[in-house]
Structure 1
């Protein structure tokens, strides 16, 4: 285990694990570094500065060709060799104490090392394309497995059965690539276009759908991914279960910090805006009831029922989160029969009865109202 508490900026720049965290933001790495910063608040500013430097270098490399990047590495390597010799001479002349400019140059050496690490990621990572998006061919080559590629050139949906028992409904003008056999603890497929996935549950083996912009991860659920190359947005819509969606494209320094990962529940969707490189979570236009048909077909009947019970029943039926001030609305009651009306129509009737209003924020329903006493 590295003693990160002793690290300065150049050490973080040269640390491969730290660079990997900044570039890929994997959940396990996020958990480790967030916990480490909490336990070492005095090093937080150093970590932030190192992250910004890595992001700047990573962003800059997208404007260089591979030949230009190689040339820059060679040039910096020569400068590093020359500076090291000067530093050794200066230390000898000053009884082992290097002048300030040499200390500052050590940071430049750290930046060089960081650039070398980034070049390694750039040329070897499966997420490398002209915009640092996933290269599907690279992923196939990296896995060194036999892959099956299915292209739907028909005008109707094509059904695909995957090796683990999961199923895919591939939309027209779409392409799906997957291994002939999934390896242990790993189920990964590549999608160009649109498809509905019904994934067999396996907690020991997450199921991942890679597109050019996002990675969708589940254990067992049903959801739709729409990611046509010509579209401005990528959309992931959840029907059942829990889905994690992570952005694949780099963030620009000029943009505000953006969550690189969002968790979706039933009736929620995330839209990734390619131009802005931002993700936005919301409810789908017409949320559907979740559960067996014999239950969802039954009307919800309330007679002088506390509004809290009404909201709780809707949350269970639609698996959506409804946020309201329970103390403020403790005296609110409702008498009504709610049938197969759309969810938002039900909410409109309820809010009208208790003189409240609702809005959808970040995939959740927020009720604004006052006391009914």
Structure 2
């Protein structure tokens, strides 16, 4: 077998068992996902090979014996009529009973059925964007990638101070440092964003077939590759949502979402459904996470209680000197701030010598006591 770096035809990919397993299982078999990212010029060949595999996966339920027999009979009648006109009836009958024409007709019927199934069951997938495609279509180079393979949320702090809470089985690609006039990240899965305010440099989240634009706000996006819908829910501020790639079936106008509003994007039909009151939508209201429910408005609240709220919202552990801070109370508003900014405000409110360090989901507070 050729080394895959030498693959130049669709047949090369189709003959590779590891490629077939990758496409069928959607798991990163034998490093195919990384290889595709490194060889973006062959992305078209990879996509065409994927579509061939989908077309060949005809559900058994559609190949009923009666339907095949009927199709074979109709095919044979056409062949028989044509051959009779050419005075080859006897020879054709011999070939039919020998089984050769039956096999040919069966191949033709299966081909028609395959085309029907592909058109009706798989063709809509061509309008779907996968994670690799949205990155290839982006202009950012040298992206970092964070994948949450654990069973609990993970917090990420971006270079601009924004924070992203990744749910399990979620992937985020982002630049080490944001450059240019935009901040672009790429999401596959579910995450809660708290964006650092910068009106001159809007923030864009690319997720499947939609892009969400913000300046400074908090919101959640749910966009798994294997699910038929994408959801955007706003907690604070304002976001604008539009199609990643506009076409005749997509909505051309941006949809604006305000706090406690949501949007559901149906991927196959490229349709948008704006939800102005999330409490009236059972599916969305039942999926609201702790970070979207807890209040960050504190009035004369013990510091220990504030840190407890941080732990519940972000699924982190906060280690602080209990004895030194046991008498400290704070009054502050942290509702529209990313996690790093929240911690800065809390530390500054406690005392000038209070600091914090953050390592993944572990936060350590250093303090000699409050003012």
TM range, normalised to the smaller chain?
Answer: 0.3 to 0.5
Greater Rg over alpha carbons, structure: 2
TM norm structure 1: 0.40
